[in-house]
Chain A
Amino acid sequence: MTDRPLTQNIRSDGSPTFLERYEANGGYAGVRKALADMTPESCLEEVKNAGLRGRGGAGFPTGMKWSFVPMGEKAGPGHKYLIANADEMEPGTFKDRLILEQDPHQLLEGMIASAFTIQADIAYIFLRGEYVLAAERLNQAIRECYEAGYLGKNILGSGYSLELRLHKSAGRYICGEETALINALEGKRANPRPKPPFPQVAGLWGRPTIVNNVETLCNVTHIISRGSDWYKTLGRGEDNGTKLFGASGNVKNPGVWELPMGTPIREILEEHAGGMRDGYQLRGFLPGGGSTDFLTEQHLDLAMDYDVIGKAGSRMGTGTMIILDDRNCPLGMVRNLSQFFGHESCGFCTPCRDGIPWIVQLLDQFEQGEATHEDIALLEEKAAFIGGIGNTHCALAPGAMEPVNSALKYFREDFERHVTEGGCTYHRAGGRH
């Protein structure tokens, strides 16, 4: 089990692991070790040395992110915050739910260790409102922690204190963006904030704040408890550690699995997801959630590493793949995604707010047979406008355009056919459009 640290407490019957079993399985050793034997500086060094990269999608090195938090006197008076981003809302992403529902203490332990590292005194779990079961189990786990002395004042007699609270989101994809999340925690509309100042310096209530994805924080649990040298042995490719990979769509065995970083896509799709359902052929896939570029069959042998997928023209994102088959229309899939992103735009900046709905409208024209060849060029033009880095205030719109741009690249003949054949032919063939 040593090579599956993130899922070691996940049981096949879906029952949750609470404190007793969690401790019995060696849980909270990391927190005990950090508080007794380590300093914030040495914890930070471990995480840096582990080469941990953020599992929320962007892949930013976690240790480096933490290193910008002002420490000691430099932080000035007031609180520092650690926030677990449990607002899992990226389309096709269902990995954090597994841990939140079945192994909540793994997250809490990672949070305590991370908060200790940056010397935060208040921690939040920012949880999607729809994750009702996760909320129940997290609440129980938090209660257990307070009772056991892992949270609260003077944790385990170390002198370090931490309050941890669960915040249930009122629902917006943009809350996954860390500065928007901070606004939501302040009770405001979740518009992303301008940077600088970065949250590490001025985040929640203007105070130093770190926001990390659930899976990232869970990795910290094990890095602290077992050491970065051990951690570095886990990966198969360029990146260290394991990762929760998943697959959804018309595959035989959709699901989520903990696998070493660098596991080839083909292995995930064919061995773990069981290949395509009978009667379905692979057309392409989004490697890491709805805001990543399509890859196709030619990319199946690539390793799931941040940079490898990046070089192939996509992003590893959340590592949960969405599989497009031959019976579903790529334009329809892109339209569905665009409608999601258009609806989840916060409405702050123009290309995103007014551009994405235009993409949806254009895709509707294709579907209804009202599009011309010029509209393909128009779609390309608008997607470039909306998706260009720096064109918008935050990364939502560029992410939204990744499937659009890559669909235009890999499935261009489908666009042409919608024009020449007067609408969507998948529909006529009984598929989805």
Chain B
Amino acid sequence: MPQITIDGKSFDVQAGGNLLEVVLGLGLDLPYFCWHPAMGSVGSCRQCAMVQFQNAEDERGRIVMACMTPVTDGMHLSLSGERARDFRADVIEALMVNHPHDCPVCAEGGECHLQDMTVMSGHRERRYDGLKNTHVNQYLGPLINHEMNRCIACYRCVRYYQDYAGGTDLAVLGAHDHVYFGRHQDGVLESEFAGNLVEVCPTGVFTDKSLVHDYTRKWDLQSSPSVCVGCGVGCNTAPGERYGRLKRIHNRYHEEVNGYFLCDRGRFGGNFVNSDIRLTRSGQQQADNTFVALSREAALAKLAQSCGAGQRIAGIGSPRASLESNWMLQAFVGATQFCAGFGPEGAAVRAIASALKGGGVPSATLQEIEAADAVIILGEDVTQTAARVALALRQTVRNKGLEKAAAMGVAIWQDAAVRNITQNDCSPLIQLMTASTRLGDIAQETIALSPDDIARYGFALAHALGTGSGVTDMSAADQTRVEAIAAILRDAKRPLVISGSGCQSESVVNAARALALALQQQSELTRVVYAVPESNSLGLALLDDHPVSLRELSEQAQRGELDTLVVVENDLYRRAPTDVVETLLNAVPNIVVMDLIETNTIERASLALPVASFAECEGTLVNAEGRAQRYFPAIAGKPDQPPAWSWLADAAAASGRQALAGLNHIDALLQAIAADKPVFAGAAEAAPGAGYRDRIGLKVARQPARYSGRTAMYADKTLHEPKTTADEQSGLAFSMEGDNQSLPSALQPFVWEPGWNSNQSLHKFQTEVGGAMRGGNAGVRLIHPHDGTLADATALPAAFSPRDAVWWVTPQYRLFGSDELSAQSASVAELIARPQVSLSPADAARLNLTPHDGVAVSVGDRTVKCRVNQDAGVPEGTVGFIQGLPGNPVWASGEQATLERLPDFARPPEVLARDSEVAHG
């Protein structure tokens, strides 16, 4: 372990790092801009200067950039000496030459790294009195605001956007002191990860547009530790509230789940909680199909009555509802009367749960994804279904280059140097897909296959690697390709198999399971990632061990054996074809629907009950890796909108169901769940319970110490100071009193340190820079694989062959549009994909389609008219159809579609309307 001396003091430090991360890791303050823990060093800003001496006798030393200097044993350094301090003051003074000092009107103000570093570097007086350079800003879409005049040219944005996230439409333009960071012309940023610019930019060039328009300073935000509900990855988030509204969502660092970054669905999609479509009051439907509002008490009485003694009830849960609400519903109606509420992906999700439990191969953490040396993806378009994984894979493929750099003695954090050495040499990533993906640029090979053929390839690969009985009826060409891929995987020390429920195919999941098991025979470091679509898909599959289908419920109802159906946070019309849903609902006399938002299913409710969103209540979600994670409210919940489990607990009490009646506290509920289902034993430990107190007996403060105006916030409405909302359910308080420095990570609502007001303060909360949180990794993994088997998951589908004039529907997904809730966020709604079908060029030619034609796609008696996307990644005989788009029918994988050409189809404009505040200047 190297020993270094800084300002006469000795420190034992980790070898291999750069001086900047080591100094920060020691808890010392050293300002910086261009370095980023996830992106390494390039040495452009020159802010992190220290003085390095040749030895103890050397008094002069030389200026070095800490971020570019490897730590070596016996180094003598000065951090706070005059020379180093003066140089850093000079740098910040130069950086501020063109900065507009518009902090009062800047959305970054108060959490601006530039402000912090300016203060830290001791720049107070402005000596440059020439003209400042100014720039014209650009319209970058509805999500991100651009204010180039604030730019200090640290290059972080383009390094993040291009080098880290693989985006191509943001670049540095111009030269010398006229460098400009933007697009070729106004337009929506294309990257699915553009929103991270908001946190990557050290000042206010890139800011969250919805926050800009509905502004609150960080010190006035009430925040909570939360979990993204956008997909099954379960990224940790920190939503911020003011005046009862969700103002913004920031990344909340989790070493094993999301690191420093979110996708744009996660960052901007959460605004659905503010939308007009929220269900705010209970209502009872009248004969004329209007709803009469009910008080909570009246609504509860109705609920208790509908589910009371003698009523034959059934429940439908939801993959987007918490573990608590799903379990409570299951307990409430009984396991045999509980339908999980999955859509066409259900069987695949269950296969994933089974594979995680019995497949023998652990699911990968974020670091394990990024450490893999070969990746094979079976049918899952992760950019659209588990976006954070796709961002990780862009780092994974760099491993080959990193090895090459290491062989030359270049440290991996020397980012520019490593990229110069690597050029475009990538570690192998192979995709077996039903359509092209956004990872095509880093994939060594993408093979266009139908879901069944993906499964066959997977089983064939598993067999080639020594597991399973293989595929006998494969063409010679396919055999050769399988052998070539097998050879690549055989060379891998840390292979990663990725699949998921995207193909809505058990076979695909089972093939991935077989392949992973085969690989594990050669390397224990084999890992899997199975993407699932929703925030609690996996939790629901683990919970539901007596699958009851919608059709079975429907039959029961049609036999007149069902009085009341309770639907929790589920729009059935998004799960099954309309006729199937209608048949069920028409046969049930009494329909209770609890949801966050108004849906088509709510329209059919006899009794509609509003529930709290992730931003307004506690709950537990199980992510795709099998990790139970707790979210906490940033917004104090309203009694009229409790979590669904709370409605049910109260109804149980009101209808005399003693077993459930007492479960009106989340801690008690989690104990009951653990007792009922041992797989969830860890869920109760996912975060400390309501009893958590810090060392002086206080709860965790959701508000920072400088939170202002609590006594006056509502003074325009009432002179009475409102009482602080008590939080009975958790160890967090809606208050500024309490600790928020040394917390269990699961309770960390925000990061903030004296002098470090921005999210850059994170390193103060980590055990080492870029490492684990001092408060441990939030959440608990519920599944610990033991010896793996294939169990009975070996059924081999028949080879797919195109049929004349009939196309096999394959599901496609879009980050903006396929997810139900985020689509209700105003800014995301502007970006929702338009309906289209994707078709192989050969099939398009067969139909004589020109690029201007549309197509009428029919399945059964439903027809959708939409544009055609010719995609060479689509296998012949199949059509890709985007799932979940508002208005699109539920067409599952394998539906038989017919196509009819629509000549000169009038296409909606591709360019989205600009929002009101287009670039000025």
Contact = CB atoms under 8 A, between A and B. Distances in A.
Interface in B670-700: none
Interface in A127-185: 172
Interface string B132-161: 000000000000000000001101000000
Contact of A196 (B46, B176, B409): B409
A189 B172 contact: yes
B844 interface: no
B75 to A, nearest CB: 15
A358 B176 CA distance: 13
Given A194-B42, A361-B128, A350 B408 contact: no
A196 B417 contact: yes
Interface in B577-599: none
B39 interface: no
Contact of B408 (A196, A205, A353): A196
B421 A202 contact: yes
Nearest to A343: B176
Contact of A348 (B44, B130, B152): B44
Contacts of A348: 44, 155
A355 B425 CA distance: 37
Interface string B81-122: 000000100110011011000000000000000000000000
A313 interface: no
B64 interface: yes
Interface in A185-225: 189, 193-197, 201-202, 205-206
Interface stretch (A231-239, A241-249, A266-274, A382-390): A382-390
Contacts of B420: 193-194, 197, 202, 206
A422 B566 CA distance: 88
B46 A391 contact: yes
Interface string B52-78: 000000000011100010000000000
A5 interface: no
B62 A358 contact: no
Interface in B212-249: none
Contacts of A310: none
Contact of B174 (A347, A351, A355): A347
Interface in A361-393: 361, 364, 378, 381-382, 385, 388-393
B475 interface: no
A23 interface: no
B175 interface: yes
Contacts of B422: 206
Nearest to B423: A206
B840 interface: no
Contact of A353 (B43, B130, B179, B416): B179
B62 A378 contact: no
B170 interface: no
B63 A358 contact: no
B676 to A, nearest CB: 58
Contacts of A63: none
Interface centre among B64, B97, B152, B422 (most CB of A within 10 A): B97
B177 A354 contact: yes
A347 B178 contact: yes
B47 A350 contact: yes
Interface string B415-441: 011001111010000000000000000
Contacts of A393: 43-44, 46
A349 interface: yes
A349 B177 contact: no
Contacts of B416: 193-194
Contact of B90 (A343, A349, A361, A385): A385
Tier of interface size on chain A: 35 or more
A39 to B, nearest CB: 27
Nearest to A203: B420
B410 interface: yes
B576 to A, nearest CB: 53
A390 B91 CA distance: 13
A45 interface: no
A357 interface: yes
A342 B178 CA distance: 11
B178 A193 contact: no
A385 B97 CA distance: 15
A250 interface: no
Contacts of B846: none
A358 B179 CA distance: 16
Interface residues of B, number: 43
B43 A194 contact: yes
B379 to A, nearest CB: 34
Nearest to B41: A194
Interface in A321-360: 342-351, 353-355, 357-358
A346 B94 contact: no
Given A189-B172, A389-B62, A361 B130 contact: yes
B408 A201 contact: yes
A390 B49 CA distance: 10
B127 A378 contact: yes
Interface string B709-732: 000000000000000000000000
Given A349-B45, A358-B130, A205 B175 contact: no
Contacts of A195: 417
Of A349, A361, A382, A391, most buried by chain B (CB within 10 Å of CB) is: A349
Contacts of B45: 349-350
Contact of A349 (B46, B414, B425): B46
Given A194-B43, A393-B43, A351 B177 contact: no
B63 A197 contact: no
Given A189-B172, A197-B417, A353-B179, A347 B153 contact: yes
B153 A353 contact: yes
A379 to B, nearest CB: 11
Nearest to A364: B130
A358 B128 contact: yes
A354 B130 contact: no
Given A202-B420, A358-B94, A392-B46, A353 B410 contact: no
A193 B417 CA distance: 7
Contacts of B409: 196
Contacts of A378: 127
Contacts of B174: 347
A354 B410 contact: no
A345 B47 contact: no
A197 B94 contact: no
A354 B127 contact: no
A246 B160 CA distance: 47
Contacts of B90: 351, 381-382, 385
A172 to B, nearest CB: 7
B172 A349 contact: no
Query: Interface centre among B42, B90, B423, B425, by most A CB within 10 Å?
Result: B90
Contacts of B176: 342-347, 353, 357
Contacts of A364: 130
B51 to A, nearest CB: 10
Contact of B43 (A172, A196, A349): A349
A355 B94 contact: yes
Interface of A: 172, 189, 193-197, 201-202, 205-206, 342-351, 353-355, 357-358, 361, 364, 378, 381-382, 385, 388-393
Given A194-B417, A206-B420, A349-B46, 6 more contacts: A194-B414, A347-B174, A347-B179, A354-B153, A385-B91, A393-B44
25 contacts: A194-B68, A194-B420, A196-B410, A196-B417, A197-B410, A205-B423, A206-B425, A346-B175, A348-B44, A350-B45, A350-B46, A350-B91, A350-B153, A351-B94, A354-B97, A354-B98, A358-B94, A358-B128, A382-B90, A385-B90, A385-B94, A388-B87, A390-B63, A391-B46, A392-B46
